[in-house]
Amino acid sequence: MGAGFGELVLTEALNRNETQMEDPNYDEFEFLVLARPNGGYTAHSLGACIMTEADDLESLEKEIRDAVCCHFDEECRPVRIKLSFIEVVSEKILEP
């Protein structure tokens, strides 16, 4: 059985951002943003282990900026932070 759409989007995004970790002076850093079913948002970075969440988008943007500032030294900090919004259209639970 083939990969689902969400898995393909995530794999493509991860491959696109793989070079970010190889070059500490990249300009753009990307987060995948997912709306939580019970409200609020979760953001996962690509290329680094950063995850944050907030109740609204304005708060999420502040949390992301704070997390990036904490994660990177000032001289290695990206110039731009890109947010890619992911919409879950369906879910499937798999048996282990």
Residue 75 is classified by DSSP as G
Residue 70 has pLDDT above 50, yes or no: yes
Query: Cα 61–63–64 angle (5° rounding)?
Result: 65
- Is pTM beyond 0.95? Reply is no
In a 13 Å sphere around the CA of 56, the CA atoms on its Cβ side amount to 2
d(CA 90, CA 96): 19
Confidence of residue 14 (pLDDT cuts 50, 70, 90): low
Taking 60 as the threshold, does the pLDDT of residue 11 lie above it? no
The DSSP bridge partners found for residue 83 are 31
**Residue of 79, 62, 63, 77 whose CA lies nearest to 28:** 79
